[in-house]
Amino acid sequence: MDIRNTTDRDPLFDALRAEVGRLDAPRGVEKELLQAFAKLHPPKRRWYHRLAVRPAALAGGVVAGALVLAFAVRAPHPVEDGRAGALVALDGNGVFIALDSAERIAAEPAPRMVATDVPRTSLAALGVPLTPENAGDSVRAEMLVAADGQPLALRLSAIQ
């Protein structure tokens, strides 16, 4: 409802409006009133604001650092002869993938290294990408072979 365009206004209210319009508060009164109101009624903080950010961040950093240090320092479990047994071992030329148990590989007295071409289809189970276009191709690999001819570990030399 727009009261400015009405013709039946009360003259006393018009006089009151005119007087209030002429009033002018001194400078800084509004600012002081707002500050006093803010002191009396502080803003409500949410539960997550109550959490101390710096101590929580510091504690998180310490925990993360401790976990990284614990996993970096932790030694692998040794096999019977004192060496660390692993299913994947890194050589100077790449990664060996164990085809037999670590105990069997460690127990082999004189394993041989044999270079061979392996069909790509037989390596699909190891994660080598296989598409219909390259299904007939072969992959150059080096195999660690036991004295009885049983393959112990495999290293892919070149995937084309």
Share of the chain above pLDDT 90, in %: 11
145 C-beta neighbours (distance < 10 Å), count? 17
pLDDT digits (tens, 9 = 90+) for 117-147: 888 888 888 777 788 888 888 888 888 899 8
* Spatial CB neighbours of 115, under 8 Å, sequence gap ≥ 6: 140, 141, 142, 143, 157
> Among the listed ranges 2-16, 48-62, 80-94, 120-134, which one has the minimum average pLDDT value?
80-94
The pLDDT value recorded for residue 93 is: 63
| pLDDT given at position 88 | 46
Work out the number of other CB atoms within 10 angstroms of the CB of residue 8: 4
Query: CB of 33 within 8 A of CB of 25?
Result: no
pTM: 0.39
Would you say 9 and 16 are in contact if contact means Cβ atoms under 8 Å apart?
Answer: no
Q: What confidence score (pLDDT) does residue 157 get?
A: 77
User: How far apart, in whole angstroms, are the C-alpha atoms of residue 127 and residue 118?
Assistant: 14
Report the pLDDT averaged over residues 19-36.
Answer: 86
pLDDT average, residue stretch 93-108: 83
Decide: 150 and 105 in contact? Cβ < 8 Å. Answer: no
Give the C-alpha distances (Å, rounded to integers) separating 32 from 42, 44, 47, 77: 15, 21, 30, 71
Q: What is the pLDDT of residues 43-61, one digit of tens each?
A: 887 877 777 788 888 899 9
Residue 2 scores a pLDDT above 70: no
| pLDDT of res. 42 | 84
